[in-house]
Amino acid sequence: MSGRLADETAVVTGSSSGIGAAIAKGFAEEGANVITNSRALERAETTATEITEAGGTATAVEADISDPDDASHLVDRAVETYGSIDIMVNNAGVSVVDPIVELDPEDWQHVIDVNLSGVFYGAQAAARRMIEQGTGGQILNISSMFGSVGVQGRSPYNASKAGVNTLTQCLAVELADHDICVNAMAPGYVETELTDQTKESDDRGTELDRDDWPYYGYDETHVANRTPMGRFATLEEMQTVALFLVEGGHYTTGEILTADGGWSAFGWGSKAR
């Protein structure tokens, strides 16, 4: 299959839905052999089937990325199935929303295990194989615009993503001698099935109440007022950013590329005020 990633093999963790699934499909459209992944095999198979039915090449692999043995198994399957691993996308992530004084230590640890340790295990497993192959490679870690700010109720998520940012830089420095580029993509609010559900559960309405500000809502009005571009990002836009970062040929490594419609530049403000 021809395309910008023709003959390359990409592993995308957490690719059963949302950004991960979009990246996996986008890479397949550009000719990559894709390993889709989820902790539940049937969910990973759903994305793989959609890819193959569209004319691409994909194999589903069940793995819990927070387990280093599973991370190694995921990479091994890529090499066994397609002969190499050229691109590793560490996308799998979870979140919990609770005030810091009420946060259950188990919830804290679960988020760190998946979002930060999982990225490390995936990157480590991929880097070992890429070094062994001797042909370089691309590692892309999915961070968040929340990795550089404080937000009420989201301490484990934000801390994990801040860790991903610094880990990305460390990996980039250590792996550069092997021609392995390591970058991170930090999305803002993206239109996915999950955000659709979140918007539907946002019962505060669309009016901005100054007395209760700041309000960390997710309906269209609140996101539009906090984002200079005035809308959620699309999954296609996330595909575009991810493809740029893994295609290579751009002398970029150790970069955290924020794709948030200007949210970080604007700060936690409101265009309505």
The residues assigned a catalytic role are 157
Q: In what order do the strands lie in the sheet with 256-259?
A: 57-62, 33-38, 9-12, 87-90, 137-142, 180-187, 256-259
CA 85/CA 27 separation, integer angstroms: 14
